Structure 1
Amino acid sequence: MNKNSKIFKFIDIQYMFFFEVIIGIIANTVLLLFYVFLFLLEHRLNPINLTIGHLALIHIVMLGTCFITIDIFGFQVLGDDITCKLVIYLHRVMRSLSICTTCLLSVLQAITLSPRSCCLAKFKQKSLPQNLCYFLFIWVLNMVISARFLISTIATPNVTSPNLMFVTQSCSLWPVSYLLKYITFSLMILQEISVIGLMGLSSVYMVLLLYRHRRQSQHLHSTKLSPKASPEQRATHTILLLMSVFIVIYALDCVISSTSGVFWKRNQIHHYIQMLVGNGYATICPLVLISTEKRMMKCLTSRS
């Protein structure tokens, strides 16, 4: 009876995994196409729109690599070292880029919302080459930090060893030297602390600006009236909602990773659950952005 319940639980996780990946890819594709279409109409690249489009593209690739690695459920699609290295490395790079780009989106929105008297106002007018330099920097940084996975990932379709860390049925991580492991781990921790810190600071700054604007509006309007929020304020509410979703999923992912030894083969169920949680932000993020984008919602409702 216990064995049957585990089998049914395993099948349910498979369905949930495929559903999450498919919904995420579709939603991110719709979001990316919308901003491409918006650019073709306006012939102008808004830094925030460009960042959202970049984030959607990252999530499409990230979820696509998850879809390729369906051999975590026993299909054994990945069969050689090169394929294992590329897929695992690409997924890791995309995951890190997702965090960095979300942080960049939060900082850009804080700059957009800041008043002209603030020192952040000088960063408002940035050219396209400068924005592309930011993207190039985070790409190179994350590719270097994740390079360890190109070294340690190997194909192990029919090999079992207590020294190998389980990733999928076909791929495992081989232990690397202590020095390389220490350097990589230190860079990853430093990056994540910096990114989370910047997100927190920009989010608190935006909340304070919104609170101050609300206080000023109450002096200009009757308390019975609710002044209509500006597009910048609505966009800020969306970014803050996105930050909240990210923090919740990130914290849940950290708890699962640190408490259950998810990479070891004897705990494959925990690994699958972590995959579901880890992909949660890439799936929920475009749904939040689409639901709060009035132009897109009008387009979708008019088509329906």
Structure 2
Amino acid sequence: MSSIKNVLYFQSGLGVLANMFLLTFYIFIILCHRPKPMDLISCQLSFVHIMMFLTAGDIWLSDLFESLNIEKDFVCKATFYTSRVMRGLSMCITCLLSVFQAVTISPSTSLLAKFKHKLKKYIICAFFYFWSFNLSFSSSLFFSVGAYNNMSDTNQMKVTKYCSHFPMNNFIKELNVIVSTLRDVFLVEVMLTTSVYMVIILYRHQRQCKHLHSIRHLRASPEKRATQTILLLVVFFVVMYWVDFIISSTSVLLWRYDPVVLTVQKFVVNAYPTITPLVQISSDNRIINVLKNLWLKS
């Protein structure tokens, strides 16, 4: 079990460092250069992923709060609430990333083309809506989660070192499950729909370029590289989401979280925020050029 936890610490450390690098890079771009709408989304996503790692179960902040002798019930509610908010934001912003790229590469004759000139305005409005919705929706966790104790084990389900789920009113519990499921299904469907749309556009573009004997230009297209990167991230996110959903649903139905299953779930949840910055770093020419210059100077 200790070796598995070491893997989680390594995964978290790698994820935090990669996302911190991206966050610093995008803040510099936003403050010192003319940022692209994609930079605003990526900056927000990097921040959300850092917070996900810091509030993930027994790792980082939980241990810090314990050393400061802060009340465990507060630690539990604060970290669990923040973690759930960040996971919801990660899904929403990934969906926004997919929709944004679909609008960006859409041909001028499509219905989406009229939104291209107002993308930055729509992105800021979307951020405000996503934060407001997730902060308010997850507030029910303050009543359903609390510090773990050794009494009445049958009435609580331990989910982290300090936290347990407690039984809720059936109506409230079912309402939360329905709303969260509808939110997740809607966002996943939007991601899949925009992904299919982007694949179709890329396929048509490739056929046109082959017809015009300019396939070399297509391979060098920044739009194509960005689209392929987002498609990869969306597919990976959807796969990780459904694995997490199956684990969570099974555990809730059985009202039992096996420690090994819980550890596997943490690894699955952290997989996307770990892979995302690495994919973005390897596909952004601006970042690659910065790293090359740093390497040459050293």
Trace 1:284-303 onto structure 2 (pairs within 5 A).
284-303=275-294
Aligned to 1:7: none
Distance 1:285 1:266, change over 3 A: closer
TM-score, with structure 1 as normaliser: 0.88
Instruction: Note if contact 1:106-1:202 (Cα within 8 Å) is conserved in structure 2.
Output: yes
The answer on 1:209 being equivalent to 2:183 is: no
2:134 is matched by which residue type in structure 1?
N
Matched residue of 2:247: which SS? helix
Aligned to 2:268: 277
Matched residue of 1:106: which SS? helix
How far apart are 1:245 and its partner, in Å?
1.4
- In 1, distance between residues paired with 2:17 and 2:257? 33
Aligned to 2:144: 152
1:156 is matched by which residue type in structure 2?
Y
How far apart are 1:187 and its partner, in Å?
0.6
Matched residue of 1:115: which SS? coil
1:15 is matched by which residue type in structure 2?
N
Aligned to 2:32: 41
* 1:195-244 Cα distance to aligned partner (Å, 9 max, x none): 00100110000000000000100111077x67433111111011111112
Aligned to 1:164: 156
TM-score, with structure 2 as normaliser: 0.90
Instruction: Note if contact 2:81-2:142 (Cα within 8 Å) is conserved in structure 1.
Output: yes
Aligned to 1:251: 242
The answer on 1:113 being equivalent to 2:121 is: no
- In 1, distance between residues paired with 2:231 and 2:292? 25
Q: Name whichever of 75-84 and 286-295 sits farther off.
A: 75-84
1:139 alignment partner, one of 109, 112, 131: 131
- In 1, distance between residues paired with 2:5 and 2:101? 37
1:52 is matched by which residue type in structure 2?
S
- In 2, distance between residues paired with 1:92 and 1:125? 33
2:6 alignment partner, one of 12, 15, 33: 15
1:241 is matched by which residue type in structure 2?
L
* 1:9-38 Cα distance to aligned partner (Å, 9 max, x none): x01111011011111111011111111112
Instruction: Note if contact 1:78-1:84 (Cα within 8 Å) is conserved in structure 2.
Output: no
How far apart are 1:64 and its partner, in Å?
0.7
Matched residue of 1:124: which SS? helix
RMSD: 2.4
Which ranges in structure 1 are unaligned for 5 or more consecutive residues? 1-9
Matched residue of 1:209: which SS? helix
Instruction: Note if contact 2:48-2:86 (Cα within 8 Å) is conserved in structure 1.
Output: yes
1:188 alignment partner, one of 166, 180, 193: 180
* 1:58-107 Cα distance to aligned partner (Å, 9 max, x none): 00011111233666xx9998742222111100000100110110000000
Matched residue of 1:154: which SS? strand
Matched residue of 2:176: which SS? helix
- In 2, distance between residues paired with 1:290 and 1:284? 10
Distance 1:266 1:232, change over 3 A: closer
Aligned to 1:234: 225
How many pairs align?
Answer: 291
Which ranges in structure 2 are unaligned for 5 or more consecutive residues? none
- In 2, distance between residues paired with 1:140 and 1:125? 25
The answer on 1:83 being equivalent to 2:68 is: no
- In 2, distance between residues paired with 1:201 and 1:58? 24
